[in-house]
């Protein structure tokens, strides 16, 4: 099968589309014929060597996947060949990723695909939707309380805005020039320009833009701050509870998010699509910045 891999770290030029062996599902696993797979900042970080790794060892990229179950291992539950699914392949520096024609996932990491969108749209949900949902759960805010979402026009931030509004929170969304219409359409009550002050007194902040101490300063005494990158959250002060979400493969939670997609609560945003052999072009576009929606590879 074809797969996007790297054996050295650097810019987009290190990516290769190589012929590799088709993986076989083990116990409680399924193999998926990939129809679409999103490109995320974590993929660019892996490619650049931000998470370490050993030169000369093959690394496969890709966390998100939408596709069709192609083979089923023993004990994989009710999944059958032909099922349309979405899933998350968790983990850094994997020998196989979802940027390939086939991928093996734990059966517990997948959910039935949304009925209301195609595979390209569905592939944008798992990583960023799960991250947003887990971050909001850590905030532990009640309906009527105030939330600031930094980086609200991004993938995690956009899902967070929609999930927070559904939970009855009063949402302030921070974004760049030209983002106000977008974040208000996602449900934000207030828009906070990136070039201005964040404000203060929020019950909680979901810091999708990784502003750190600046975002913490916007939280009221005794409030909550949740970051999205392990190791990047600021130290607690003024009695503020500081936590960091770390995404995990969770088919049950993903199934709940799929339902919200089909109910029209969550919007899936695709910026551009590329073939597997165009992965380097997708990485170039990602590092240019300003992408509103996900770049998606289509085998």
- pLDDT of 22 > 90? The answer is yes
Give dist(CA 14, CA 48) in Å, integer. 9
Give dist(CA 280, CA 284) in Å, integer. 6
Give dist(CA 205, CA 226) in Å, integer. 6
Q: 2-125+268-298 with 128-244: one CATH topology? A: no
Please give the CATH architecture assigned to the domain spanning 2-125+268-298.
Alpha-Beta Complex (3.90)
What letter would DSSP give residue 267?
-
Give dist(CA 8, CA 49) in Å, integer. 8
CATH class of the domain defined by 128-244: alpha beta
Domain locations along the chain: 2-125+268-298, 128-244
pLDDT per residue as tens digits for the range 46-86 = 999 999 999 899 999 999 999 999 999 999 999 999 999 99
Q: Which of the four pLDDT bands, split at 50, 70 and 90, describes residue 235?
A: very high
What letter would DSSP give residue 176?
-
Q: Which of the four pLDDT bands, split at 50, 70 and 90, describes residue 230?
A: confident
pTM of the model: 0.96
pLDDT per residue as tens digits for the range 162-206 = 999 999 999 999 999 899 999 999 999 999 999 999 999 999 999
């Amino acid at each position: 099968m074809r797969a996007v891999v790297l054996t050295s770290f650097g810019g987009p030029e290190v990516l290769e589309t190589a012929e590799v062996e088709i993986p076989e599902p083990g116990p409680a696993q399924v193999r998926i014929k990939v129809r679409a797979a999103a490109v995320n900042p974590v993929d660019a970080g892996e490619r650049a060597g931000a998470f370490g790794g050993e030169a000369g060892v093959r690394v496969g990229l890709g966390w998100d996947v939408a596709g069709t179950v192609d083979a089923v291992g023993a004990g994989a539950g009710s999944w059958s060949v032909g099922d349309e699914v979405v899933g998350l392949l968790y983990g850094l520096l994997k020998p196989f990723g979802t940027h390939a024609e086939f991928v093996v996932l734990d059966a517990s990491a997948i959910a039935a695909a949304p009925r209301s969108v195609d595979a390209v749209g569905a592939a944008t949900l798992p990583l960023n939707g799960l991250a947003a949902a887990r971050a909001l759960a850590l905030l532990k805010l009640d309906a009527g309380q105030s939330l600031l979402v930094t980086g609200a026009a991004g993938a995690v931030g956009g899902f967070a805005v929609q999930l927070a509004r559904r939970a009855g929170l009063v949402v302030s969304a921070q974004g760049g020039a030209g983002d106000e219409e977008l974040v208000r359409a996602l449900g934000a009550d207030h828009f906070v320009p990136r070039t201005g002050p964040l404000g203060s007194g929020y019950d909680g902040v979901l810091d999708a833009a990784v502003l750190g101490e600046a975002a913490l300063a916007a939280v009221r005494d005794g409030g909550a701050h949740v970051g999205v990158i392990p190791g990047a959250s600021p130290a607690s002060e003024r009695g503020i509870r500081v936590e960091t979400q770390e995404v995990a493969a969770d088919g049950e939670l993903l199934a709940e998010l799929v339902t919200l997609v089909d109910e029209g609560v969550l919007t899936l945003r695709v910026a551009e699509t590329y073939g597997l052999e165009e992965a380097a072009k997708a990485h170039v576009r990602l590092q240019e910045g300003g992408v509103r929606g996900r770049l998606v590879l289509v085998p």
